[in-house]
Amino acid sequence: MENEKGLLIVLSGPSGVGKGTVRKKIFDDPSTSYKYSISMTTRDKREGEVDGVDYFFKAKSEFEELIKQDQFIEYAEFVGNYYGTPVQYVKDTMDQGYDVFLEIEVEGAKQVRKKFPDALFIFLAPPSLDHLRERLVGRGTESSEKIQSRVHEARREVEMMNLYDYVVVNDEVDLAKQRIQSIVAAEHLKRERIEAKYRKMILEAKK
């Protein structure tokens, strides 16, 4: 039988909630078969980050040129920088039958929802906003002005939970990882997906 198309998994949620940490936990697990779509950004590289691994770091003019060329599934401006998902990798990888995993903020997730209504949308939520602020301060990589603006952004994002299919509370990274893996496994067993597969098999058997 022809390769079944992969699932598009969107993990989203407020900045500082720990999306990156949960995502890394998921991809450190050798049983994970999803492919991670590396985003492009115009923000400065943080210490320890590697171009082409954490992000593709681009100049603003380059990013804007790619927007014009329609090279993004989605993009958003977040705290003064662009972030976007390159279209080609996602399409090719899903066509090969792999699940593709995006870790993006909510404005981008909204755009993905319009283009890929079948995608799976998971919202990673903080146990509380105070907890979130503590984490951002604790990270020590941002100025207090930037932290304020990220916390403001986070409040708005929490209100946007209703865009998502599932909410996973990030109280513990391992638990959040397991919950996400369970959601993805269940999504693959959805009646609509299985039914489509069987319909295809029946059509092929008739040939």
Listed ranges 71-79, 88-96, 185-193, 197-205: which one lies at the site for ligand 5GP (CB under 6 A):
71-79
What torsion do the CA atoms of 147, 24, 116, 181 make, to the nearest 10 degrees?
Answer: -120
What torsion do the CA atoms of 26, 129, 168, 92 make, to the nearest 10 degrees?
Answer: -50
Smallest separation, CB 105 to ligand 5GP (Å): 4
Using CB under 6 A as the binding rule, the residues of this chain from 9 to 68 that contact ligand 5GP are 15, 19, 39, 43
Listed ranges 56-64, 82-90, 120-128, 178-186: which one lies at the site for ligand 5GP (CB under 6 A):
82-90
Pick the closest to residue 106 from 7, 9, 8, 15 (CA basis). 15
The whole-angstrom separation of Cα 198 and Cα 29 is: 31
Choosing from 8, 94, 104, 136, the residue that interacts with ligand 5GP (CB under 6 A) is 104
Choosing from 105, 123, 124, 136, the residue that interacts with ligand 5GP (CB under 6 A) is 105
Count of positions on this chain that bind ligand 5GP (CB under 6 A): 15
Buried b (16+ CB within 10 A) or exposed e, 93-110: bbeeebbbbbbbbbbbbb
143 CB neighbour count, 10 Å cutoff: 8
Q: Say whether residue 153 binds ligand 5GP (CB under 6 A).
A: no
Q: List interacting residues with ligand 5GP (CB under 6 A).
A: 15, 19, 39, 43, 74, 76, 78, 83-85, 103-105, 107-108
